[in-house]
Amino acid sequence: MATEVKVPVLGESITEATLGEWLKKPGEAVQADEPIASLETDKVSVEVPSPVAGVMGEWAVKVGDTVEVGAMIATIEAGDGSAAAKPAAAPAAAPAATAGQQAPAQPSSDTPAALSPSVRRAVLETGVDPSNLKGTGKDGRLTKDDVLAAKPAPAPAAAPLPVAPSVAAATGRKEERVRMTRLRQTIAKRLKDAQNTAAMLTTFNDVDMTAVIEARAKYKDLFEKKHGVRLGFMGFFVKAATMALKDIPSVNASIEGDEIVYHDYADISVAVSSPGGLVVPVIRDADQMSVATIEKTIGDFGKRAKDGTLKMDEMKGGTFTISNGGVFGSLMSTPIINPPQAAVLGLHRIDERPVVVNGQVVVRPMMYLALSYDHRLIDGREAVTFLVALKNAIEDPTRILIDL
């Protein structure tokens, strides 16, 4: 008797998703709760587990199809998969392989079920046997980089046969059309909606990073030994931002209809990269956290965004966003607000530049700061005051310690 596999509940207000990848083929053995497919929602990838143990039945939808919550996408047949594991060798009438011929290779049964979607995809693309690899991720789990590093070197290419030249080969002009993922479509829509709705404006300042760099260099080894995480710059900026938000509450507010909602807490959305695009998980109650706890949380978000294992609940809400384009080499930018938030802080790369200090020209590590804000809610004085408060805290980190 076949058991239907249906699209699970995906979260509040999310009614449909796109089938991103099948993780099991028809005829393969499946364990209860083992992921058989990966769905792409507006925010994250979600794995669909098998409700029972058995054999993977027929697929009801194709990769790229849109499916609604509760819709059937496949069936699980009764059995243990032993008969399906050797479809080519079972029939008695099948002729023996002749000399110089080999039977088709069977799919490896050693692939761990716990692999994330991005790691499974890398395994399929490279042909690497994951059972022979040592994982470098948390609790020894395999990462995409582990699989790519074990990819065998390609064999020397044989000399191509002469063919008639095509127009594309002659001109070197090629095109590739790739359908936008649901995540990329949502990002595009939300960012354009933000431009169309908010009266968006950006103000700039720069900050001398000398004190933070010196503190990091002095304490990074002790910090990592005690807390098990590297001391970066984001911990300082998140903590400094939460202090500035208390001083200028309108930057931490939002507009709902004809009302302004002020928040007495700071849930900081931190923009991180994922294989499908930029995602913004939320550090809840960041104003109550230590720098060490903030660094641990950001590190965990970054790793799970790369593996595609962030949860949708972790990306809901947020009262203020910090986007660090400096890790990619950005000198200056005008970040776009993440609705319904009223402001977003953009960080950039650190460059040594000549500045005047106490009447003397000196070289200092400087960073440009950009605050994009909704002018319907935040006026210029408040935006500039926020950036100055942030600048003061970073240039004198003692202010963060004594909440000044």
Q: Which of 193, 375, 396, 403 is catalytic?
A: 375
Cβ-Cβ contacts under 8 Å for 75 (sequence gap 6 or more)? 2, 3, 4, 5, 57, 58, 60
CA dihedral 386, 390, 396, 401 (to 10 degrees): 100
Tokens of 303: 């790793």
Q: How far apart are CA 404 and CA 400, in angstroms?
A: 7
> Which H helix or E strand runs over 164?
none
Give SS3 for 371: strand
Q: Which of 258, 379, 396, 403 is catalytic?
A: 379
Cβ-Cβ contacts under 8 Å for 134 (sequence gap 6 or more)? 140, 146
CA dihedral for 173, 174, 177, 178, sign (positive or negative): negative
Cα distance between the two ends of the chain: 68
CB atoms within 10 A of CB 339: 15
Tell me how many helices (H) and strands (E) the chain has: 9, 18
Whose tokens are 């099991």? That residue is 24
287 catalytic, yes or no? no
CA 218 to mean position of chain CA atoms:
31
Radius of gyration of the chain (CA): 26
Alpha-carbon distances, residue 158 vs 154, 161, 162, 226 (angstroms): 12, 9, 12, 55
375 catalytic, yes or no? yes
Q: How far apart are CA 404 and CA 401, in angstroms?
A: 8
- DSSP codes of every residue in 214-234: HHHHHHHHHHHHHHSS---SH
Q: Which residues are catalytic?
A: 375, 379
